[in-house]
Structure 1
């Protein structure tokens, strides 16, 4: 019995390994347009997509214009789009397997840093080849569990990107507020100095007139 249990444990580990999907998140800088390709092997799979515009290449620039994302299938037909958004998260069902293209368009005159994540969810359904009749439903549950775990990771990554964006925006706003306060203080001091100078000139002229 112990030998059989050890064998089953090894089989389960080997069966779990194909389901462990690595994270496909990237962070890149876009000028005008940037496209990425991702191969989807099965029709009916669910593709999860998220992106967040983290920051612009200048701390003085702040805009809610966002970017455009257009998704096209292997035939070039548009299957999903997201317009003028600084962040978005969506999913779609694959109707045509093959290489899908994800194209970003930046309408801002500045370079933008974008955090982009894509994941293909696929459930494998196993035929009853093993003698143990419980193996097939167990494999299905393993696949569903792995997909649920990755969805949590996918959501967490999107929230972390949102947090990074907000932190950078807060830092830039604080920096602009400090520079604005310094500028206003310098302007106030300059105005005060000019005012004192003009008053002294005025009194000097009055004194000169009185003496005459």
Structure 2
């Protein structure tokens, strides 16, 4: 009877916690030269997961692998991590000082760039044995780990989707450039043919005029 009650209680706890699992969160923004974002980290020792992908430029004719710079700074302004000249990157770091961390992007390209950016803070809450029932302390800890594992999967999926979007846009732009290049080459070939015909006609007209004289 007590075992059945414990299982019912455990199921009830899981059902109550599941609606509060954190959804995958990311933003897409357009950068001109520099853009900074802030994220508060409440606990030292937490793991911060970061990912970004340069989705596209504001012109289909621009294609470059120069990428952007990302610099991460702690609450005191000290540099924690940086990523230079990359079109996409994914990394994590351990928080040494809790507080507001800044994530600053720098665009060296003359064009506006669209960037997909995602930040997630991984934190485990450990429940003391004397503060909770001995059967529920491990359960709450496993739920916290499950929450983190699910979000890590969503974090990875979000990054892969951004990579797929970038590749699709690059392929579309390359196709457009190929079509435009073919049209320009065709127009140039037609123009050259017309000029050749015109020059040949002038040449024959001059020869005919000379022979008549």
Q: TM-score, normalised by structure 1?
A: 0.92
Deviation string, structure 1 residues 98-128 (Cα, Å, up to 9, x no partner): 1111111111111110000000001110122
Deviation string, structure 1 residues 13-33 (Cα, Å, up to 9, x no partner): 376258612323000001111
Runs of 4+ in 1 over 6 A off after TM superposition: none
Distance 1:128 1:24, change over 3 A: same
Distance 1:19 1:130, change over 3 A: farther
The aligned counterpart of 2:49 is 48
The aligned counterpart of 1:171 is 172
Distance 1:95 1:183, change over 3 A: same
Distance 1:51 1:182, change over 3 A: same
| Kept after mapping to 1: 8 A contact 2:14/2:143 | no
Q: For structure 1, which segment, 26-35 or 196-205, has the greater mean C-alpha deviation from structure 2 after superposition?
A: 196-205
| Kept after mapping to 1: 8 A contact 2:67/2:107 | yes
Q: TM-score, normalised by structure 2?
A: 0.92
Aligned residue pair count: 212
| Kept after mapping to 1: 8 A contact 2:72/2:103 | yes
Shift of 1:202: 1.2
Aligned pairs for 1:106-125 (under 5 A) are 106-125=107-126
Distance 1:134 1:9, change over 3 A: closer
Deviation string, structure 1 residues 110-161 (Cα, Å, up to 9, x no partner): 1110000000001110122577422111111111111111111111110110
Q: Distance in 1 between matches of 2:132 and 2:14?
A: 18
Please give the root-mean-square deviation of Cα atoms over the aligned residues, in Å.
2.1
| Kept after mapping to 2: 8 A contact 1:51/1:158 | yes
